[in-house]
Structure 1
């Protein structure tokens, strides 16, 4: 047995845990994503120590070290959530670190009971299943999914159009595991042929996806199907804005002034950010035409030939009685109503329609597990000037432009969910519009991370993205994931770009996160095998 496995002090073990936490964080702090290819190496070294000493240490001994590593990763990468809610940040960081460490503890249990290759396979499928789970349960938080860490290296991940971000997760895990096995072969003085084969396998695993992606990037050509888009960044400070009628009119004037600075006779679509207008009682979805700001906008549009508009607003819906109200409805003076975070579309005829944000931020826009914890609903913090859980739309829906082309209205947090966006595209969306208000995170890595995820959505769907962020960064993203005309942070801005619509369906749009479904099936089998083996042993 190697000395490093027989003589590893507690300090050494802590250093290894901390090293993995720091290395994992770097990709979310603007460093090249390829650091993830060896970020798990210190933790794998530590995990192997406990496997080799399993007669002396219980499995829970490794769990504490894994928790430390993931706690550091979560703190360094997502501490900025605290600007919006300290309690929410603590909950997200601690809960996510706990879940990540439990996944690795399960993988460690498999490694203690199975041969090495099956143990590593178990670790991989458990982690992939966990990432998929984070897309679909009631406390969705896929922000730190491993495949997201390659978002700013678009020349390496063009094949996401086949796999989605989970393909990146598989790549990162596979490289780390193979790299560790190469190290073990060298340290154990394995034969030259074994070392050569394992080293060659590692080189192939690193280079083939990268070279394939480079070829895809260099050869990809967008079909000509132009749409002239104008994006407005009004730069309203979310921490100091007022919510009275005068403030709404001021935001209206800023919005139209900036749009006027860039609009031309060829402009097809004007886009504003999330919650440009926030007095939800004034924005009844059944009577949009009675809203003063809505009428002012349609008057402004009438001066510009055939232009259409998409922007965000806090809206409401009033119900006739309690029986017709939804489960998220609120009650005030015997009136039942829902509040939504909505995208509002105004067509060339001045007619309005809405899409309501479907994926709500846990603890901020909705109370998780509301069915069981509804008594806590008033503790929810909403970042749009209201409190309580918001209403939501069950199915995504597109807006139809005057030329019958469709655009996907994606609101803020929804842009992190790749498979969800495929549902817009499957319904005919040729362009993705992301509207967001990232000013809550101030000048931190948060808004930069959020921007980078739009690049992933462009590659997965091969759709251009027009992104309007209240305080930045607003931009356009082409179908290869390149960022065009990025605005500065915390400045008023308006940018115009001709983007190409696309009607082709990628493999990922058609099949979604198929990698996760395979991984979950394998994870269940391995868990059952692990349980049976445990009972047999006892």
Structure 2
């Protein structure tokens, strides 16, 4: 009899554990399936956190059975599934980088959720769920602005391929989308608890149903109306965009000579330009061999481009390059990213650069500012500089690159163009700073060939659509291996060139001088919720002290 009772108890415990495990897995899978290009069932994100919230409530309500470490492990599993499901393609460029990214960013998300759990325990349910919203979005803001920045999975990014849903991002940016998602999940969770768990009648919960429907549909209806009625101010310029399709692993920095690559780009451009063409746009590091910025004439690629521009004096060329800046010999490094020049005994910085070239006009130079963690930079260089030798080699120069301190535009007569290099296009507030400084349109130049035919390059394109909506700026996008296209001010993709295809497109894009609320205010939601997070953390900590508890998270 004792054995039977013991076995029955064990079975019940196992069933509870499998239930918790199932909830954790379900939440992670729903997040992944909802994400752009890894399922794209965006509507599921409005219920994706519900299983995790159910799990948290089960553990919180049974402290005699479960500790906070149970919640930590289950929550970590949820976010590990989510991050791996959506960004597994990093593996193509770096196995170690992919593992580090998934492990580290899942940990950050888990810590935020544990803070919510602690706040809910000590401040009560209502303030606890307010804390969840504040902590999550507050961390998203921090994640955009610290050295470990990799905001690819910011919740609001999920609607990148649903521009008809999010025209209001011109006021809120993607953090408005994060707020929408979290509020919807919290309301759905409370309806589930009332209607399914507590078996309350539907009529008793009709107010909650109305709140759910209004919260879901009101932003969509507003957005559909804005999308349908938005008309761009007619102020067109003709732009030609080149996609040379050069294999970044085999040809870009190896088998194919620089002269062959430049000739390929010029041949494509020549096939589309007219006397009305204002700009030609070529991708990131289209000039693969680095040259010293004060001595461009020493680069054969530069001379080839200038000869072509001499024959096409009406054209302005925006093109990516690897460049160097030299410094005189000194005992100390002139910059944090400077490296020794063994030939001269001095120092130099390497840059991922956008050049503006025009016949009989000075070369304009912009250096990429938002550098890819682990590829183009190491965080906190004074601390991690010994690890620089392990930086991922994606062609060009190993080690941390130099960068600009802030965004600025490339100016051609009275036209200001935002030169956005690759990874910079996922930073909404940074992108908006170009517009604050007068950008009339944006050119995104990127490679996008590192991740093979995976969701990575498709997600990268989709995030560019968000920038168009937030700033109401037309975008010309030149990618080495896909997807090159135009994006209008509503976020629609026009004339896309497919993956691994050589091609060139020509189109008119409208310049715009108006500033959106988001351009003027940036990630204001994030800043407000960072401040609220600090207050709630202090309040929660004080409540724990008052209750003579230890504050571990």
User: Please, what TM-score do these two structures have when normalized by structure 1?
Assistant: 0.96
Whether 1:212 and 2:219 are equivalent positions in the alignment is: no
Shift of 1:30: 4.4
Correspondent of 1:63 among 72, 80, 83: 72
Aligned to 1:325: 334
Q: Deviations over 1:214-243 (max 9, x none)?
A: 111011000011110000000010110264
Distance 1:9 1:141 in 2: 36
Is it true that 1:288 corresponds to 2:296 in the alignment? yes
Q: Secondary structure at 1:440's aligned position in 2?
A: coil
- 1:355 aligned counterpart, secondary structure: strand
Q: How does 1:387-536 map to 2 (within 5 A)?
A: 387-402=398-413, 404-536=414-546
1:472 touches 1:489 (CA, 8 Å); kept in 2? yes
The CA deviation string for residues 388-430 of structure 1, in whole angstroms up to 9 with x for no partner, is 111111111100113x110000000000000011111100001
Mapped to 2, the partners of 1:486 and 1:353 lie a distance apart of 28
Residue by residue over 1:448-472, the C-alpha shift from the partner in whole angstroms, topping out at 9 and shown as x without a partner, is 0000000000000000011000000
Contact 2:159–2:166 (8 Å) recurs in 1: yes
Alpha-carbon shift at residue 327 of structure 1 (Å)? 1.7
Which of the residues 380, 392, 398 maps onto 1:369?
380
Distance of 2:339 and 2:114 partners within structure 1: 42
1:32 & 1:209 partners in 2: Cα distance? 18
- Please say if 1:314 is aligned against 2:326: no
Distance across 1 between alignment mates of 2:63 and 2:13: 12
Query: Does the residue aligned with 2:151 lie in a helix, a strand or coil?
Result: coil
CA offset digits 1:145-178 (Å, max 9, x no partner): 1000110000000000000000000000000100
Residue 87 of structure 1: how far off its partner (Å) = 1.0
CA 17–347 in structure 1, closer or farther in 2 if over 3 Å, else same: same
Mean Cα displacement is larger for which, 148-157 or 288-297?
A: 288-297
Are the equivalent residues in 1 in contact too, given 2:252–2:288 (CA < 8 A)?
no
Structure 2 unaligned blocks of 5 or more: 1-11, 549-553
Q: SS at 1:80's partner residue? A: helix
2:101 equivalent to 1:92:
yes
Is residue 306–residue 358 contact of structure 2 (8 Å, CA) maintained in 1? no
8 A Cα contact 2:247 2:449, kept in partner: yes
Task: Tell me the matched-pair count.
Answer: 531
CA distance in 2 between counterparts of 1:476 and 1:30 reads 24
Deviation at 1:115, TM superposition (A): 2.2
Which of 44, 59, 63 is the equivalent residue of 1:50? 59
Q: Does 1:164 pair with 2:173?
A: yes
Aligned match of 2:285: 275
Query: 3-state DSSP class of the match of 2:271?
Result: helix
Partner of 1:151: 160
| Distance in 1, Cα, partners of 2:425 & 2:358 | 24
C-alpha displacement of 1:339: 0.5
* Cα shift at 1:7: 9.9
Kept after mapping to 2: 8 A contact 1:54/1:112: no
Q: What RMSD, in angstroms, separates the aligned Cα atoms of the two structures?
A: 1.7
Three-state SS of the structure 1 residue aligned to 2:512 is: coil
Counterparts of 1:382 and 1:140, CA distance in 2: 20
1:277 CA drift (Å): 1.4
8 A contact 1:59–1:109 mirrored in 2: no
> Does the 8 Å CA contact 1:365/1:383 hold for their aligned counterparts?
no
Q: CA deviation at 1:288?
A: 2.1
Could you tell me how far apart the structure 1 residues matched to 2:66 and 2:403 are?
48
- 1:237-282: CA deviations, max 9, x gaps? 01102647971001011101111111111110000000011211xx
SS in 2 for 1:31: coil
- Aligned residue among 396, 400, 403 for 1:385: 396
| Cα drift, residue 189 of structure 1 | 3.5
> C-alpha displacement at 1:193, in angstroms?
5.3
Secondary structure of the 2:383 match is helix
- TM-score, normalised to structure 2, is 0.93
User: Is 1:262 paired with 2:275?
Assistant: no
